[in-house]
């Protein structure tokens, strides 16, 4: 084949260059059809078979000539792809997360979707085949949960980072909000940017969003701003930190109740909603919810099964939130709708008792017109 190499040297260099470009782009885009595991698993065996056919001269004459020429070009192309991919990995430092996405997607269980407001079912972390400092966060049992969140509402998470997180079984704000320092450390190393999660306040942002709150960035993304994976500079981080709502860390006696306390905020975002528009919430219950940092309909609308159980136990009426459909009412009100009960409250036809809660299920006193 040496004479073919000399005769077609320019074209071989072009094939090598083309392979390098394709290898670089395939690494960057992370598309399954272009991935290293995809085209190499087909290309290399085909190349080896062709080499064997050429070595034993199983195709004589003109057919053998074209086979030799094709192998040269194909070999140059594959070598270019390998070098392009390796060079991009060395410069960008992202080889590991790309592999993790493919591994996680292949290993995620095909479980049924979790119904809305169900307790978050966590399972063992998705195997990645790599070791990092810290501890890998747990995954969700479902590959595509019904109540998955748009993680791009967290500043610092764009389409690429969201895909990596989803591949590891991370689909909700609550999961990120619950990360320990060790889990954040592991994830930062796995995504090839140690310390960035802490610097960019991913966990704090997730706590606000999981509580039904909003950040300046989440509002902008909902309004159409494209989310970016680009790291934030010091100015962006300072701006984010100054505008981020403060979340209540803990409340007294929190661990005495079943379920999980919903994250609350130290003060409302703007004007607090009138929670008494929800049938079942009177003056005392509203005051106690305020003490937990619950100020808005959107926060109650975001409660899941664990949150409902905890609040029911904390307010000393397990099961009542479900019976009175607080979450369903809150969803309607949070979306700008109304209910018959809310309209009656606005017209002054319903009053809350002074000792709200002392009358059990009949804590709301209805005033006949």
Domain count along the chain: 2
291 part of a folded domain: yes
The answer to whether 186 and 137 are in contact (CB under 8 A) is yes
Q: Which of 145, 169, 258, 246 is nearest to 201 (CA)?
A: 246
Model pLDDT for residues 142-196, shown as the tens digit of each residue = 777 777 899 999 999 999 999 999 999 999 998 999 999 999 999 999 999 999 9
Could you give the CA distance from residue 261 to residue 179 in angstroms, rounded to a whole number? 15
Q: Write the DSSP assignment of 254-266 as a string of letters.
A: GGGSSS-PPP-BS
228 part of a folded domain: no
**pLDDT at 210 > cutoff 80:** yes
Domain range holding 21? 2-92
| Domain end among 92, 112, 132 | 92
The per-residue pLDDT of the chain, averaged, comes to 77
| Domain end among 36, 57, 92 | 92
41 part of a folded domain: yes
Model pLDDT for residues 255-292, shown as the tens digit of each residue = 889 888 888 888 898 899 999 999 999 999 999 999 99
| % residues pLDDT > 90 (the chain) | 41
Tokens 């809350």 label which residue?
352
Residue 127, both tokens: 């195997």
240 part of a folded domain: no
Q: Which of 223, 220, 200, 215 is nearest to 269 (CA)?
A: 215
274 part of a folded domain: yes
| Domain end among 76, 92, 108 | 92
133 part of a folded domain: no
Model pLDDT for residues 316-339, shown as the tens digit of each residue = 899 999 999 999 999 999 999 999
44 part of a folded domain: yes
Q: How many CA atoms lie within 13 A of 52 on its CB side?
A: 6
């Amino acid at each position: 084949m040496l004479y073919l190499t000399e005769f077609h040297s320019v074209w071989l260099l072009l094939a090598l260059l083309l392979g390098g470009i394709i290898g670089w782009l395939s690494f960057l885009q992370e598309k399954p059809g272009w991935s290293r595991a995809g085209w190499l698993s087909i290309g290399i065996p085909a190349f080896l078979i062709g080499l064997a056919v050429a070595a034993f001269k199983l195709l004589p004459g003109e057919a053998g000539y074209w086979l030799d020429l094709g192998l040269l070009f194909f070999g140059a192309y594959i070598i270019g792809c390998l070098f392009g991919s390796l060079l991009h990995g060395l410069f960008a430092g992202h080889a590991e997360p790309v592999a993790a996405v493919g591994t996680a997607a292949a290993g995620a269980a095909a479980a049924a979707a979790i119904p809305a407001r169900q307790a978050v079912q966590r399972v063992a972390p998705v195997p990645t085949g790599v070791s990092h400092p810290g501890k890998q966060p747990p995954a969700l049992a479902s590959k595509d949960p019904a109540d998955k969140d748009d993680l791009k509402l967290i500043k610092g998470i764009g389409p690429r980072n969201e895909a990596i997180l989803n591949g590891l079984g991370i689909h909700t704000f609550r999961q990120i909000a619950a990360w320990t320092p060790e889990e954040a450390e592991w994830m930062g190393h796995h995504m090839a940017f140690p310390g960035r999660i802490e610097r960019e306040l991913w966990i704090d942002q997730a706590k606000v969003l999981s509580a039904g709150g909003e950040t300046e960035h989440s509002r902008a993304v909902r309004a159409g701003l494209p989310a970016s994976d680009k790291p934030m500079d010091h100015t962006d981080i300072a701006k984010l930190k100054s505008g981020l709502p403060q979340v209540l860390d803990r409340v007294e006696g929190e661990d005495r109740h079943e379920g999980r306390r919903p994250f609350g905020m130290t003060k409302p975002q703007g004007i607090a909603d009138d929670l008494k528009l929800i049938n079942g919430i009177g003056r005392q219950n509203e005051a106690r919810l305020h003490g937990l940092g619950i100020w808005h309909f959107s926060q109650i609308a975001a409660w899941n099964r664990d949150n409902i159980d905890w609040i029911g136990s904390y307010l000393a009426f397990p099961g009542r939130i479900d019976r009175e459909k607080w979450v369903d009412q809150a969803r309607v009100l949070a979306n700008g709708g109304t209910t018959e009960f809310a309209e009656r409250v606005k017209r002054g036809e319903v009053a809350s008792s002074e000792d709200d809660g002392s009358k059990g299920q009949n804590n709301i006193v209805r005033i006949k017109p």
